[in-house]
Amino acid sequence: MPRILSVFLLKMNPKDRYTAEQTLNHDWIKNKAPKAIDVCLQQNQLENLRSFRSQNKLKKAALQVIASQLNEIQIKALRDIFMALDDNSDGLLTATETGEGLEKAKPKDIPADLQQILQDVDSDGSGVIDYTEFLAATLDKCMFAERDVCWAAFRVFDIDGDGVITKEELKKVLQGDENMAQLLGGKSVEEVIKEIDKDGDGQINFDEFLKMMKADN
């Protein structure tokens, strides 16, 4: 990997660090990185894809935030799988490409509802899965349930930094990101908050957010 790309990936400040999308679209990754021909979607990653569909709306949005903040070192294995599945190297996965990847992996069970699973992962409704959507849906829990990782995601939604996410703040974040807004799937912001708000105060504090991220669904 060229030194200039490594510098951007290892920036301490997330604002200065390359996102997952920027990394994948970097000239070196797209044109010079060796194609990972011997990697494929593993059983545990398939299970992550399947469980992603049952996560609540805010958790899906938070996973997108976390996926965009992880550096190349942290997600190298998933990046290699994505590139191996992406036959035409356009940075997008179709249902055909993903299905072929599953057949190569020969998992114990290829779900009959694979098409529906892929539709649920496709948060922006584009008909294909982009890099960040793929990362968000296949991340292992050990990568996103750490307190500091969750705190960094929480701060994206807690705009004023007062330690709670209000419905006004959630609306602002969702309105500013079309992909995240699609994740609501017709639910109101109030409904989303109510699912996580265990103490019934109409907002989400960090403990509630952390419990949501650590929960299995």
Amino acid at 46: L
Nearest to 214 by CA among 170, 165, 168, 150: 150
Number of domains the chain is built from: 2
Whether residues 94 and 185 share a domain: the answer is no
Per-chain mean pLDDT for the chain: 76
Residue 38's pLDDT is 54
Examine the domain organization and report whether 119 and 49 are in the same domain: yes
Q: Is pLDDT larger for residue 110 or for residue 212?
A: 212
Q: Model confidence over 61-92: pLDDT tens digits?
A: 899 889 888 887 878 888 888 888 888 888 88
Query: Out of 30-44, 49-63, 82-96, which region has the weakest mean confidence (pLDDT)?
Result: 30-44
**What is the secondary structure of 142-187 as a DSSP string?**
HHH-SHHHHHHHHHHH-TT-SSEE-HHHHHHHHHT-HHHHHHTTT-
Same domain, 128 and 55: yes
Q: Which of 10-14, 98-102, 122-126 has the lowest mean pLDDT?
A: 10-14
Among 123, 140, 157, the domain boundary falls at: 140
H or E element at residue 164: strand 164-165
Judged by average pLDDT, the poorest of 67-71, 105-109, 153-157, 212-216 is 105-109
Please, which residues have CB within 8 angstroms of residue 67's CB and are 6 or more apart in sequence?
20, 75, 132, 135, 136, 139
What single-letter amino acid sits at 193? I
Greater confidence (114 vs 188) lies with 188
pLDDT surpassing 90 at residue 7: no
The residues, any chain, with a CB within 8 Å of residue 163's CB and separated by 6 or more, are 205, 206
CATH of the domain at 34: 1.10.238.10
- Of 140, 170, 196, the one marking the end of a domain is 140
Chain-centre distance for alpha carbon 133:
5
| Same domain, residue pair 56 and 131 | yes
Find the angle CA(138)-CA(35)-CA(29) to the nearest 5 degrees: 80
User: Encoding tokens for residue 156?
Assistant: 């994206």
CB 102 within 8 A of CB 162: no
Among 140, 155, 181, the domain-final residue is 140
Helix, strand or coil for residue 115?
A: helix
Task: Give yes or no: residues 172 and 96 share one domain.
Answer: no
| Residue 154: pLDDT over 90 | yes
> Which residue range forms the structural domain that includes residue 167?
147-214
Q: Give this prediction's pTM.
A: 0.70
Max mean pLDDT among 22-31, 81-90, 112-121, 143-152 falls in 143-152
Of 29-33, 57-61, 83-87, 179-183, give the lowest mean pLDDT range: 29-33
- Determine the average pLDDT of the residues in 172-200: 77
